[in-house]
Amino acid sequence: MVYTEKRIEHALRQGGYKITPQRRTIINAIIHSHEHLTPAEIHERVRREHPGIGLVTIYRTLEILAELGLICEMHAGGNCRSYLIRRPSEHHHHLICSDCATVIDFTDCDLGELERRLSKETSFEISGHLLEFVGLCRKCREKTMAG
Amino acid sequence: MVYTEKRIEHALRQGGYKITPQRRTIINAIIHSHEHLTPAEIHERVRREHPGIGLVTIYRTLEILAELGLICEMHAGGNCRSYLIRRPSEHHHHLICSDCATVIDFTDCDLGELERRLSKETSFEISGHLLEFVGLCRKCREKTMAG
DNA sequence: CTGACTGCAAATAGTTTGCATGACG
DNA sequence: CGTCATGCAAACTATTTGCAGTCAG
């Protein structure tokens, strides 16, 4: 575990944000979960400890944490679903810009060996995988540096 | 381009679906675009040629095309945004049983090389990735075989 | 103290559903 | 001709915004 509660709180203070019980609870929920959580899921978990908390607070806290780079937001960009014609037998993956949501496809992922190994070690019969890289495209990097 | 209009129409018929002018227009819009398109974007393009078409029709057609595997839907899973605490240099990934939802974590994914290559080719500054394998765990496989 | 934070409610955006009419095959 | 498809309107869900009261620093 690299980002501890303390470190995150420190980062928040550095960013000029205040530490509130709500934020503490939200941060803890995220830290202690090893899965990706949607805002609604976070809300649900946080409520057990902090019943009155509003979903709005979750959204606002997540926005700050993402802005500070403390959490990783999947599926960057407001809306999510988009479609592309599929070329048979050409399963592909995405490289997504977390700022402008540009998507670049790539096909060769070379996961066969890893898949075989995992399959052997875990006795799973693996049927597929999801692979996405997230980062900043050149334009957004330049924008950030300029600003 | 591998999936032509004709092939897609054939696949639709095979699936028991009808070919309508609306569907034709939608399919054409997707085929002729090389980017990922959101339903709204598709709607907008399709309207030029077919003004009266409803957004609802886009959604329904997309659902069918995705079901038949003719188009690729990004961001698998209904809703999009999800968050995970970010651990610098400590990736971890999941192997998920599609039946009982057991999750097994693994850390060594060996994507460094791929990441470097992608980064070089695309000028992205890659900050993270999401890798998930889906399959059947041993128990569920045995269950399936027994049943 | 004071500005930032919270929670409510309402607004907005994206998506799905019910239903009567229309068209493919 | 029957069945599936369409388009409208309304329902739903997810997310954002405005505002008055509250609290961290």
Chain A positions touching B81 (Cβ under 8 A) are 38-39, 73-75, 80
Does the distance separating the beta carbons of A66 and B105 come in below 8 Å?
no
Query: In this model, does residue B146 exceed pLDDT 70?
Result: no
Distance (Å) from the C-alpha of residue B75 to the closest C-alpha of chain A? 7
Is residue B61 within 8 Å of B26, Cβ to Cβ? yes
Which residues, 6 or more positions from B16, have their beta carbon under 8 angstroms from its beta carbon? none
pLDDT of residue B16: 92
Best-predicted range by mean pLDDT (A49-58, B25-34, B62-71) = A49-58
CATH classification code of B91-147:
3.30.1490.190
Helix axes A21-32, A55-67, angle to 10 degrees: 70
Please, what sign has the CA dihedral across residues B7, B8, B9, B12? positive
pLDDT of residue A86: 47
CA distance B94 to B104: 6
CATH classification code of B1-88:
1.10.10.10
Domain with CATH 3.30.1490.190 in chain B: 91-147
Query: In this model, does residue B114 exceed pLDDT 50?
Result: yes
Domain with CATH 1.10.10.10 in chain B: 1-88
If one compares A59 and B136, the residue with the highest pLDDT of the two is A59
Give the three-state DSSP class for A119.
helix
Query: In this model, does residue A79 exceed pLDDT 50?
Result: no
Return left, alpha or beta for A126; rule: phi > 0 is left, psi -120 to 50 is alpha, else beta.
Answer: beta
Helix axes A39-49, A21-32, angle to 10 degrees: 120
**What percent of chain B is predicted at pLDDT more than 70?**
69
CA distance A126 to B27: 32
pLDDT of residue A72: 65
CA distances from A61 to A1, A44, B94 (A): 21, 15, 26
Per-residue confidence band for B69, with pLDDT thresholds at 50, 70 and 90: confident
If one compares B71 and A61, the residue with the highest pLDDT of the two is A61
Is residue A103 within 8 Å of A96, Cβ to Cβ? yes
Among B95, B92, B93, B26, residue whose Cα is nearest residue B63 = B26
From the list A3, A83, A109, which residue is nearest B85 (CB)? Answer: A3
Q: What is the pLDDT of residues B10-60, one digit of tens each?
A: 989 989 999 999 999 999 998 888 667 888 889 999 999 999 999 999 999
Is residue A139 within 8 Å of A100, Cβ to Cβ? yes
Is residue A81 within 8 Å of B74, Cβ to Cβ? yes
Residue B32 contacts strand C, CB under 7 A:
no
Query: In this model, does residue B103 exceed pLDDT 70?
Result: no
Least confident among B54-58, B64-68, B93-97, B132-136: B93-97
